[in-house]
Amino acid sequence: MSLRHFDQLIGRLRQRLAAFPDRRTGLNKKYTMADIALSAFSVFYTQCPSFLANQKAMQQNKGQNNAQTLFQIEQIPTDNHVRHTLDDVPPEELYPVYDEIYGALHEHGVVATFRGVGGTTAIAMDGTWYFESEKIHCPNCSRIEHQSGQITHYHSAVTPVIVAPGLRHAIALRPEFITPQDGHNKQDCETAAAKRWLDKEGARYLPGLNHNATLLGDDLYAHQPFCRRALINGYHFIFTCKPDSHTHLYQWVNLLASDGALHTVTMQVENKGHWETHTYRYANGVPLVEGEGALMVNWCEVGITDKAGKVRYHNAYITDWKISDANVAGLVATGRARWKIENENNNTLKTKGYHLEHNFGHGKKHLSSLLAAMNMLALLTHTFLAFRDESYRLIRATLPTRQTFFDDVRALLRYMCFPSWAAMMDFMMRGLEIGPYAPAPQDA
């Protein structure tokens, strides 16, 4: 049975967390692994660092608490016990929950609405830092040695998400953490992690025959080894392509332009009540690099000007899609959807209450990356509810901002105990007089 509502999702999450590897022995097993891991997850989900402390106080005062009724936490452990116990758990242990949420969204037709050029699923890839320090570090840290001799230790990950032109949400997929790799002398990096993700996870998101998905990425990905890796794994690609890092390709583009051989398409497009001029230039079969064995790619650029002729946007891309007058606008729209991985995923995790860059606990092994994966899962869970929970969707649409919603949730969970998530949603709808509690229309 696929996931349909929050309480069912938490039940499945508890089953998964109960199977986490447990290195504890003897009298140290007072709390179950499920209670320990769900306690951490509840903090990220509610965006409330004091959630567990509040629920302990509620238990003393009322004999019950929301950690138990909403998150199925039977006993609330201390923060230190949570950190110490979870340090042994690699983030990959959490990935089956990502898969189950993706599977449910796919089964209910949500993923099918996320379509880019050629009707393919568009998957944007980008790397993001989630920890840095000059003092705290672990064996899994990356490092930057500055000229001054100072060393910055940091953690980062590649965070693939499904995006689509015209759709606000992004659906998070299994991340790939950038960590030192066994048998490798060079420090791990974003493109190496992205290649690992393609090799390990790429087939998971190709629902049909080859090339049913298109990878999106910034200029870092627009290089021959990664483009070939994408094609080998059955993916199309659209990557930002800058002149400074692709001098040979742009020599060809400039030569074609001087010969009048670039195709040009101009469109008038209305955007929020204002008319814009969208000008596209493109060429097929351009060598990505110099020399024998160069991958032939297709190049396009877009320039957007307002009524006064001021440039509002300009960018260029390389792709394996053959470009034509008929598809260039749709292809560019898909390429531009890449920004959603920053605005709707990474930026949301860092600035919209999830506090991804806060050091919730670093540990000596896996704690930092596991907590980051839980934080990303919390955002994915809210995305799931935005599509599958009508009450949640209605409340979020009624309240003025995301912050207002979480402020209200935190206040309610601090002072009241709800028997279920559905009960709290019902309480909020009643207070807002929406949904089944909307006032009846008055007769004229």
Structural domain spans, the chain: 6-86+389-435, 92-347
- Per-residue pLDDT at 388: 93
Residue type, 369: S
Low-confidence ranges of the chain (pLDDT < 50): none
How far, in Å, CA of 223 to CA of 428, rounded?
Answer: 50
How far, in Å, CA of 152 to CA of 135, rounded?
Answer: 8
Q: Are strands 213-217 and 236-240 parallel, antiparallel or unpaired?
A: parallel
How far, in Å, CA of 22 to CA of 18, rounded?
Answer: 9
- Per-residue pLDDT at 443: 62
- Per-residue pLDDT at 187: 86
Cβ atoms within 10 Å of 335's Cβ, excluding its own: 30
Taking the CA atoms of residue 330, residue 161, residue 111 and residue 299 in that order, the dihedral angle to the nearest 10 degrees is: 20
Residue identified by tokens 């189950």 is 100
Residue type, 327: N
Q: How many residues can be counted in the chain?
A: 444
224-267 pLDDT tens trace: 999 999 999 999 999 999 999 999 999 999 999 999 999 999 99
Encode burial over 72-104: b for 16+ CB neighbours within 10 A, e otherwise.
bbeebbebebbbbbbbbbbbbbbbbbbebbbeb
Helices 33-46 and 6-18, interaxial angle, to 10°?
140
Tokens of 414: 């601090």
How far, in Å, CA of 269 to CA of 257, rounded?
Answer: 25
- Answer for the pair 83, 361: CB distance below 8 angstroms, yes or no: yes
Handedness of CA 319, 325, 330, 333 (dihedral sign): positive
- Answer for the pair 33, 77: CB distance below 8 angstroms, yes or no: no
- Per-residue pLDDT at 441: 80
Average per-residue pLDDT in the chain?
94
- Answer for the pair 341, 163: CB distance below 8 angstroms, yes or no: yes
- Answer for the pair 199, 230: CB distance below 8 angstroms, yes or no: no
Q: Please name the CATH architecture into which domain 92-347 falls.
A: Alpha-Beta Complex (3.90)
- Per-residue pLDDT at 333: 97
- Per-residue pLDDT at 444: 53
Q: Is the pTM of this model over 0.85?
A: yes
- Per-residue pLDDT at 210: 53
